[in-house]
Structure 1
């Protein structure tokens, strides 16, 4: 009687009485009694080992387990083994055949026992009075409570009833693109807190990525009031500035925000490990993916620029990008935006719909006006797609008079500086003078145009009071550059109509 076994290429012959020198390749124990074997490749199996099923389903692991033959460490009992094991090749998960064969809850005599995927033994209600020190929950790591703790005393494994009922078996985490499955591993390094751990972990076997349960279940940015959170902006958990975890970093009180570049004082988050990473509470809520009208082909992702691209110009304002800061980027097109440039949205139309102008206020500019040829310093309009720049005064369709909720009277577009603010004509060129906007109460460039009420001497910066201009038709064409990785546009023809 022969036998075809899936782990050997040859047909195994039935041997009525095994030789004591035969060693079973499955359990690695001597063979006595009936067995199957191949003398050519010296492969022998106990009769019982040869009949083990090729694959099984087990409550301790969500994937099917296949019978395999090699050295391993059992993910259930943490003991090393060789020979047969039941293995998940996707998750790199192994169990001894003996561990798989342990009894599970299947009869009415098992009252009071619970079979849970966090542990390979049945769990029972634990009397904490027998412990000198209260054991801790394997999930939340807090002391267990009387009358609500289930566990396995032989394995020193305990769980709160509430934690056992609410822990998810599979999660999606911002630190990793693949789904993470709850597993047990004897030894691993958490990719969140970088600590050596053992026991429960959320893991991706394909990528060998693991997070301990505490890091895996940290609140996200959306959770208000949490002292420790997770965010896609950094690969480690982030601690609220001022709590013990943040204070233990040993760093000074002033830190630069990785999003906006301003100082983080006491309203932000820092890396809970040792990274020099700080971010404002407001900046941490930035979207990780945006769809921006300046780059319609693909979404832009908030990320750090690769080292070789540090100093690359922003595709919008042409100013260098700071490699220390997060920026919005499309890798395929090499299109990059400063965080603050991504906040600018086209809101002024000039010409056909493709020719859309964005107001740039309080941003230094290296551009010249395409109409008058003079420097466009601040408060200018620019079409990023075709790189067309124009002063507000040079725009024929600019609203010369507007009404706004900030002032009861009409406001007129006026060239600054205003006469009443100057003692003499030479003062117009005095760079030391300070001029302010009556809306935002911040300093303004005195040569920039303003909206002005002569009766009240009320002065408002353009960016503080307008949202859009009416369209003005012009004949302009845009052609996509063939072979351009930046997917930018250039003007083939532009004719301005003067009002």
Structure 2
């Protein structure tokens, strides 16, 4: 069975009765399991997935929330690329008052917009958060939700006890699992959480200011209701089969990382015994290079590791005839790794040609982690950042914040969905700034350059000694203290600092 879908006119979508990939639906941005449609053409690489229900949505709709005019089905990603003003105008739902990438029904005369999930809300529901049946009112009515304490429109109401609630709050389960934490989280009143005045959501790293939250009392892990409900944070598993007493391996940590060789990635050819009696691999065969690599500590001038594309540090492995260098730590990377920026396991591979990393938004080459389901690539530097993260640029620890709204980087002012955020203040860093090398070299300059977060003097005039252009005093820069040589980070690192040119 095939379907010619309005959102993908290039090819027909093919029906699959039991899709198991878990890839995100273009309609509702929820994982796809069960009946679905997708494009199987090679040039689309299985990119266009839809739940059967989302693919078969009617193009037009008469809805009681906006009875005066018919509504038209709308996909905002087209406007996001071509017309930012139109995208912003129709990105917010007039029912749930949230922004989302999902399809919505719109009235162009009135600028009215309703998400597809809000348009299909049933008239009455039985929810886990209230004992009585709730009834939807379609009259645009401002109210304060008795569950989260926030204002909203179009509540579900309980006739027996004068209880009103948002539709999204009504969908909250009593327990759920997020991929950032080992144990299920329980729906909990904020007043029952210790020090509730300063409770921080460890998913978005902002203060929890709602009447209820998701909470793990064993680990003091708290999350906003809606942060925990986001598809890219939530782990869709059968909680009945998950024993809370059994601690599962954390997705954000690998206990064996940098501790031993993965035999599928690296084979030890020769070893020696160190002064402390431990075995040291002196010669290895790594999957990234055709020749054997030998351990050395003689660092060549201004060279980079072919794995992580950072300045080479001792000890490392090398193939001298090929000028191929690999950090000892890079040789011990695991083949499979989990990380909370992605819902599927990531696989280690090597690519000499450049690829695009979706977290730091830079061209990279060398070792990478990629998702074999979504075909997304991640630079190893981004994946290996610890969570929480401690950097010299900030006095507090930084936590990975993953939201559905853009967040500003405090250094370069770029806007990203994934940043490392301080739970104490508003400081945040994107992956590009968080992975900047602390020390690097520039062409034939005899001394290394160090990353500086504060100005070198109080002269009030700051220039780059490479391009001779003025520097923004608020932005980090590289500095050679031996020569009093300041420079823009772009001038030192170049246009593509994570791409190593091969001889």
RCO higher in structure (CA 8 A, sep ≥6): 2
What TM-score do the two structures reach when normalised by structure 1?
0.32
